[in-house]
Copies of this chain bind each other. A is one copy, B any other.
Amino acid sequence: MSGRAVTIAEVARHAGVAVSTVSYVLSGKRTISADTRRRVLDSINALGYHPHAGARSLASKRSNVIALVLPLRAGMHVPVLMRFATAVVTAARRFDHDVLLLTADEGPEGIRRVAASALVDALVLMDVELHDRRVPLLRELAEPSVLIGFPAEPAGLTCVDLDFAAAGARCVAHLAERGHRQVALLGAPAVVYERGTGFARRTREGFTAAVAAHGLEGVALPCEETFDEVHATVAGLLASRPALSGLVVHNEAAVNHVLGSLRQLGRRVPQDVAVVAICPDDVAERAGPPLTSVLIPAEEVGREAVRLVMRKLEGLEVPDSTLLPPHLAIRAST
**Chain A residues in the interface with B (C-beta under 8 A):** 1-3, 5, 48, 50-58, 63, 65, 68, 70, 75, 77-83, 85-86, 89-90, 93, 98-103, 105-106, 110, 112-114, 116-119, 140-142, 225-228, 230-231, 253, 256-257, 259-260, 263-264, 280, 282, 285-290
Q: List B contacts of A3 (CB < 8 A).
A: 142
Interchain CB contact under 8 A, A231 and B85:
no
Taking the closest CB of chain B, its distance from the CB of A236, in whole angstroms, is 16
Copies of this protein, total: 2
Q: Given A140-B2, A288-B228, check contact A101 B116 (CB 8 Å).
A: no
A93 touches B89 (CB 8 A): no
Minimum distance in angstroms from A135 CB to a CB of chain B: 15
Residues in B with CB closer than 8 Å to A83 are: 77
Verify B89–A101 contact, CB threshold 8 A: yes
Report Cα–Cα, A81/B83, bound state, in Å.
11
**Alpha-carbon gap, A51 to B7, bound state (A):** 24
Complex Cα–Cα for A98 and B191 (A): 32
User: Closest approach, in angstroms, between the C-beta of A290 and any C-beta of chain B?
Assistant: 7
22 contacts between A and B (CB under 8 A): A1-B116, A1-B142, A2-B142, A5-B116, A5-B118, A48-B116, A52-B117, A53-B118, A53-B119, A54-B58, A54-B118, A57-B57, A68-B101, A70-B86, A70-B89, A77-B79, A77-B86, A79-B79, A225-B286, A227-B259, A257-B286, A257-B288
